[in-house]
Structure 1
Amino acid sequence: MIGETLRISWRAGARELLVLIACDGIAMVAVLGEVLLARRVLAEVLHTERYGGGLGAVLPSAALLALVTAILGLLGALAFSQQRLLAELTSRYAQDRVLDVTCAVELSAFDEPQFFDRVARAQAGISRMPMLIFSLTGLMRSVSGTVGALAALIAIQPLIAPLVLITVVPAVIAASQRGRLFYGFAFGMTPRDRERRYLAQLLTERDAAKEVRAYNLARFLRTRHDRLYDEHIAELRRTARRSLVFSLLADLAGSAITAGAVLLLLWLTLHHHLSLASATAAAGAIVLIGQRLSFLGVSSGQISESAYYINDFLALLELTPSRAGGQPGAPIPLRPLSRIAAENVTFTYAGANAPALRGVSLHIDEGEVVALVGANGSGKTTLAKLLAGLYLPDTGSVTWNGQDTAKIDRGTVREHAAVIFQDYLRYCLPARDNIALGRHERFRDLDAIERAAERAGIAEMLGRLPDGLQTMLGPEFHGGVDLSVGQWQRVALARVFFRDAPFIVLDEPTAALDARAEHDLFESIRDLFGGRSVVLISHRFSTVRNVDRIYVLRQGSVIEHGTHDELIAAEGLYAELFGLQAIPYR
């Protein structure tokens, strides 16, 4: 794991890592020199005191010792600054890799709780990156300092060195066990911690604020949030108590070994095997080694714990190509788009007990407007997502121009589709950006942006904003202007126009529009999307009377299809639902 961390650090900041390694290498030599120079200065002081002599005899060695100490201080300051920078660079690198995966995975991954758990643990790995870098560089400094002091101790009295070095063994074992315990705690708490953070999000974000207040939910949600946090703290306390046992045992073992080394040093001194200066220098080396080994134990423990999180981070990066989306496919030309067809399509959401679609077949020819109708949960939106290449069917096929979308480059399919969902996004960005995101490759095409706004019926309103199309939308940022629900929906519709795709999916596109605006849109839908294939999803049957073909879905299956007149004449579900909606107007 240290090797993998070093590889990540090298990719993130090779220069900073090299500086740190150089600092530690120089520090190792400097520590050796510091201990030996300290012994020399002490010996010269004792010699001067016993046999006489001036300060000049000690001054050169003392000055050299001061210089080495100053160099160690400078190296520490330089290493600290590079350490901070490397930690940030490594976090940025790791975050980029996670975003690479989350941006590329199939949409179906976001239907799986396990995927969110994996992402949460990978994000925890990223949050550990700075600590891991600090621990790793701390480990490097501890090793370099230990090696330097140990070399000095061997030069003074080699018998003591092995005994002192053994003190690291219980510390490392205990650190490894602590890391395992705390990671096990974090792993087990992941689902509950995600729920707790979600509840906190409901209590702090604008979109939820109105309903939380309208239903007086704050206390109820806060109580649930606090209960989950209490469980988190209680489990953490239990884990901390268990880890304390390992720490105490390691400290007792380390202290006993250190005491043995000190007793051996005293025996050697009392029996005149060591001079007073050498004994003092050796004692200083033992203390220094003890400190460094203590840091080494702490650092290795942090690395051991972080290693589990880094493994989660690396596991997320190893998603198979099919799960990561965008697997190789033929980048075939899809304009003109003569036909889109679904053939006996079945699709089941991850974790669902029953398919959302069962044996569905339909087709949309170039320039046709086709409607999908049915009760909530009948599979309309799911089918539209499959037609647009956002999902792949479990069985059956979706074809564009006769080519199976599973074998076409996924990006090519999506480039040729424009979708407005019921839960469209409201981007807290300037108005022009909100529209231009429909085809970001033409982000600077202001004329096309203005035409899209005009076709969506929003141009006049946007022109009245304080800064026109440059006005920030949404209240989250300074100077932002919020829009009504209907105005936001028109902005989303302008995005569809700006995308200029041959296949359009409109999922309840007028849900927030007034009656006149809705009527105008559906009356002009062929003119607005002339020559394009359009799938229209609507609960208002009066809006789909003039489409080319209507598919009626129930429980994931197409139970009838045809024109409005044909379906009315068939006296099936469509005729029944149409009649129910018409009753209030009779």
Structure 2
Amino acid sequence: MDDPEAGTASSPVTAAELTEPPRIELRRLPALAAGAVRLARTAAPREFLLVAVLQALGGLGLVLPILGGRELLSRMLDTGSGTGQADVLWQAAVVLGLLGLIGLATAVAAARDDVLSELINRYAMGRILDVACTVDLEEFERPEFHNRLERASMSARIRPHQLTQGLGALSGALMGTAGVALALAAIEPLLVPATLLAGVPLWLAGLRSGQVLFDALFRLTPAERERSYLLELLTDRRSAKEVRAFGLGGYLRGRWERRTDERLAEIRRTARRRLRITLVARFVSGIALAAVLVPLVAYAARGGMPLADAGAAATAVLLLASRLRTAAAGTDQLFEAAPFVQDLREFLKERERPPALAAPAPAGFRRLTVEGLTFTYPSADRPALRGVDLEIGTGQVIALVGENGSGKTTLAKLLSHLYRPQGGRISYDGVDVAGADPDELRGSIAVLFQDFQRYLLPAADNVAMGRWERIDDQGAIEEAAAAAGADGFLDALPRGYRTLLGPEFAGGVDLSGGQWQRIALARAFFRDAPFVILDEPTATLDARAEYELFERLRTLLAGRTVLLISHRFSTVRTADHIYVLDGGRVAEHGTHDDLMAAGGRYAELFALQAAGYLDTV
């Protein structure tokens, strides 16, 4: 298939270029199967036990109908034995009853298996969410982490259950195979190993076919992530306006179609490979089975064994072959799911690793000191911060200014302990907090980022996300909204603070950008933390609202330490101390008057911005 994007920068990097798909070794299958059983027992102990018992009964129960059928056939053919018709009918009823019970057990097991599947899926997805919610934020900057997360999420939906299902089907089939083999051994022992050999090609094919499927989907992961992203762009409300404004619908749809064509082409190639493997295995297995049945029929035709025994033996051979095919199907499921489950287990090890012992975090600080702070994003080729030094005293308002890309937001993320410094240290009252529990440190910090989250939840919940443990404190929610100037429009909503925000769900009401920003600010106030970090807190507010808010900030945040990031120099001139960042370094710092007198970078930027305002008058 020709791809006009092939070889261009827009083509996705395949996972195979980053790492090779893991290979499933036969010696690791028992451990994977045991892990799947533990997962199923943990997720749904009752359903798993019930399904396992019913599958076992369905398998072992076959031996009785076979032996009973042989005896019944022998009596029916032995017309001279004087066997009564009532005895024959009674024995037939017993055989049919056993077959009915086996069918009932199989039906109940299949029905409960649907419930087991949902419970396993819920449990596996829950563990993935545990990893996603606790892994270092820096991991979200790595493409390989997103590839692993995507594969784990896809695998968790079906693969753990598929593995346990395949294991259950295999164990049930093996029990049935054992039962039929016992019955066949009672008739003609030599037929047992000969028939069992017919199942070996099917078993080997399952192993190879499962690896082929995993290899294909592993390679497709990055392209599949891009395809999902394009689909989101074409269907998301926030991107819909720009897609239409720039006429991007056809272009983005074309990219999605190309990625979909790539996926379909890979799936077709994989399906053909798997089909060839299956057909060859079944052909070889059929030849092996024919090599058992043909001599058996010829031997019976020459009178080498009673007709009843020959009929029962042929039936047992065919039934054993059927059980072997069922076992092979279970093996296919087992081998198909095993690579995905192994990949999932490797991802979940992020959560299983014992956490490093963290020292208790200080409740706050009188003075926060940053020394030689350095940080480079995983995808970047140069540091975002280089040897940054600064000091923040309790109760102070500290401002960070600088051009885009100077490192302001990165510094805020490190000071809020979302990222770990790669060099230098952050100290509270002279004590390095690198070894302290980051969750505890973040508990005393309120952060409002420029790209704040808009939760499609009731208005009160949007504010309460700042400290969800107090979500029922309606009085504090309303106080925080009033502090942010959001109480007026929230009270005016159709259901007040209980109104659902965002039009995506029924009954939801959308807000303006400035109203959303006031709610985000209220969320920061509701957190009621001693250290407040505000990253462009008025970016979407009009000039009057911005002026009124900054006039009130010192009153609203009295007694708290504030780190303020802003591009608008008029809003930071009253800060206690101003740090100017340039290229990831502190270029200069001081009060507004000091920096203006120095005539450096700050004075230059302030003058440029002031001139822009004067030119518009």
Q: TM-score, normalised by structure 1?
A: 0.97
1:546 is aligned to 2:574: yes
Q: Equivalents in 2 of 1:351, 1:416: separation in Å?
A: 30
Distance 1:124 1:250 in 2: 29
What is the identity, as a one-letter code, of the residue corresponding to 1:97? R
Residue by residue over 1:189-228, the C-alpha shift from the partner in whole angstroms, topping out at 9 and shown as x without a partner, is 1111111111011111111111111111111011111111
Aligned twin of 1:444: 472
Asked whether the 8 Å contact 1:105–1:325 carries over to 2, the reply is: no
Q: Is 2:536 the partner of 1:508?
A: yes
What is the rounded CA distance, in whole Å, between the counterparts of 1:326 and 1:438 in structure 2? 26
Equivalent in the alignment of 1:404: 432
Distance 2:389 2:413 in 1: 14
Whole-angstrom CA distance in 2 between matches of 1:28 and 1:302: 18
Aligned to 1:161: 192
Paired residue for 1:211, among 237, 242, 257?
242
Contact kept in structure 1, 2:130 and 2:351, CA below 8 Å: no
Match of 1:531, SS state, is coil
User: Superposed, which structure 2 residues align to 1:346-385 within 5 Å?
Assistant: 346-385=374-413
Q: How many residues align?
A: 582
Contact 1:334 1:400 in 2 (8 A): no
2:579 and 2:186 map into 1 onto residues whose CA distance is: 89
Deviates more, 1:11-20 or 1:151-160: 11-20
Farther-moved stretch of structure 1 (38-47 vs 193-202): 38-47
Partner of 2:557: 529
Q: Is the 8 A contact 1:87 1:133 kept in 2?
A: no
Q: In the TM superposition, what whole-angstrom CA distance separates every residue of 1:355-405 from its partner, at most 9, and x where no partner exists?
A: 000000101110101111111111000000101111111110112233323
Which residue of the partner structure matches residue 137 of structure 1? 168
Name the structure 1 match of 2:105.
Answer: 75
Output the CA distance in 2 between the equivalents of 1:115 and 1:365: 38
Which stretch shifts more, 34-43 or 373-382? 34-43
- Determine helix, strand or coil for the equivalent of 1:524: helix
In structure 1, distance between residues paired with 2:477 and 2:355: 29
CA distance in 2, matches of 1:412, 1:325: 18
* Distance in 2 (alpha carbons) for counterparts of 1:329 and 1:339: 22
1:101-137 Cα offsets, whole Å, 9 max, x none, are: 1110111011000100111111122122333333222
Residue 485 of structure 2 corresponds to: 457
Equivalent residue for 2:363?
Answer: 334
- The answer as to 2:123 corresponding to 1:123 is no
The answer on 1:99 being equivalent to 2:129 is: yes
Provide the rounded CA distance (Å) in 2 between the counterparts of 1:326 and 1:538: 37
* Amino acid paired to 1:575: A
Measured after TM superposition, the shift of residue 241 of structure 1 is: 2.0
Distance 2:83 2:611 in 1: 118
In the alignment, structure 1 residue 289 sits paired with structure 2 residue 320 = yes
Q: CA–CA distance in 2 between the matches of 1:259 and 1:39?
A: 22
1:420 aligns with 2:448: yes
Is 1:318 the counterpart of 2:346 in the alignment?
A: no
The whole-number CA distance in structure 2 between the counterparts of 1:307 and 1:131 is: 9
Q: Which amino acid aligns with 2:558?
A: G
1:502 Cα deviation from its structure 2 partner: 0.8
Q: Is the 8 A contact 1:124 1:309 kept in 2?
A: no
Q: Is the 8 A contact 2:370 2:425 kept in 1?
A: yes
SS of 1:474 mapped into structure 2: coil
Please tell me whether residue 30 in structure 1 is matched to residue 61 in structure 2.
yes
2:202 to 171, 174, 179: 171
- Alpha-carbon distance in structure 2 between the residues aligned to 1:198 and 1:517: 36
Tell me the alpha carbon deviations over residues 66-120 of structure 1, each in whole angstroms, 9 at most, x when there is no partner.
1101110111112112222222111111111111111101110110001001111
- Pick aligned residue for 1:188 from 219, 232, 237: 219
Give the Å deviation of 1:54.
4.7
| Greater mean deviation of Cα atoms: 396-405 or 2-11 | 396-405
Q: Is the 8 A contact 2:75 2:83 kept in 1?
A: no
Question: What secondary structure sits across from 2:586 in the alignment?
Answer: strand
Contact 2:362 2:441 in 1 (8 A): no
1:41 CA displacement: 1.6
Rounded to whole Å, the distance in 1 between the matches of 2:483 and 2:181 is: 78
What are the ranges of 5 or more consecutive residues in structure 2 without an aligned counterpart? Answer: 1-31
CA deviation after TM superposition for structure 1 residue 325, in Å: 10
**Quick one: structure 1 residues 53 and 295, their matched pair in 2 at CA, closer, same or farther if it must change by over 3 Å?**
closer
TM-score by length of 2: 0.92
Q: Does 1:111 align with 2:141?
A: yes
Helix, strand or coil: the match of 1:479? coil
Q: Distance in 2 between matches of 1:224 and 1:576?
A: 45
- SS of residue matched to 1:318: helix
Determine helix, strand or coil for the equivalent of 1:258.
Answer: helix
Equivalence for 1:250: 281
Is residue 86–residue 133 contact of structure 1 (8 Å, CA) maintained in 2?
no
Q: CA deviation at 1:411?
A: 0.9
For 2:440 and 2:82, locate their aligned partners in 1 and report how far apart those are by CA, in whole Å: 91
SS at match of 1:186: helix
Give the percent of matched residue pairs that are identical in Structure 1 and Structure 2: 46
Contact 2:361 / 2:441 at 8 angstroms: preserved in 1?
Answer: no
Amino acid in the other structure paired with 1:472: L
1:234 corresponds in structure 2 to: 265
1:273-312 alignment, distance < 5 Å: 273-312=304-343
CA contact (8 A) 1:44 1:57 kept: no
- Paired with 1:69 and 1:154, the residues of 2 have a C-alpha distance of 21
Aligned to 1:59: 89
Q: Residue 571 of structure 1: CA displacement? A: 0.7
**Residue 15 of structure 2 aligns with which residue?**
none
Q: Which shows bigger deviation, 472-481 or 78-87?
A: 78-87
Q: Deviations over 1:252-301 (max 9, x none)?
A: 11001100110132133124343222222222222222222112212212
Mapped partners of 1:210, 1:196: distance in 2: 20
Task: Please name the residue that 1:474 is paired with.
Answer: 502
Letter in 2 for 1:122: A
| In structure 2, C-alpha distance between the alignment counterparts of 1:424 and 1:167, rounded to whole Å | 63
CA 1:350–1:582 in structure 2 vs 1: closer, same or farther (change >3 Å)?
same
**Equivalent residues of 1:104, 1:325 under 8 A apart:** no
Is 2:461 aligned against 1:430?
A: no
- Whether the aligned pair in 1 keeps the contact of 2:361 and 2:433 (CA below 8 Å) is no
Residue 16 (1) aligns with residue 47 (2)? yes
Q: Deviations over 1:13-63 (max 9, x none)?
A: 222222222223322331000111111221222224x56665213012111
Q: How far, CA to CA, are the matches of 2:55 and 2:266 in structure 1?
A: 39
CA-atom RMSD, angstroms? 1.6
Q: Does the CA-based 8 Å contact 2:399-2:579 persist in structure 1?
A: yes
Change (3 A) 1:326 1:432: farther
1:390 is matched with: 418
Letter in 1 for 2:223: R
What is the SS of the residue equivalent to 1:341? strand
Residue 343 of structure 1, CA deviation:
0.6
Q: Is the 8 A contact 2:59 2:173 kept in 1?
A: no
For residues 393-429 of structure 1, give each alpha carbon's deviation from its aligned partner in whole angstroms, at most 9, with x where no partner exists: 1110112233323111111111011111111000010
**5+ residue gaps, structure 1:** none
Q: Which amino acid aligns with 1:329?
A: A
The residue number in structure 1 matching 2:7 is none
What are the superposed Cα offsets for residues 309-344 of structure 1, whole Å, 9 maximum, x if unpaired? Answer: 1111111111288xx897431223324x31222111
**1:432/1:511 Cα in 2 relative to 1: closer, same or farther (>3 Å)?**
same
User: Counterparts of 1:326 and 1:399 in 2: how far apart (Å)?
Assistant: 22
How far, CA to CA, are the matches of 2:526 and 2:78 in structure 1?
Answer: 90
Tell me what 1:573 maps to: 601
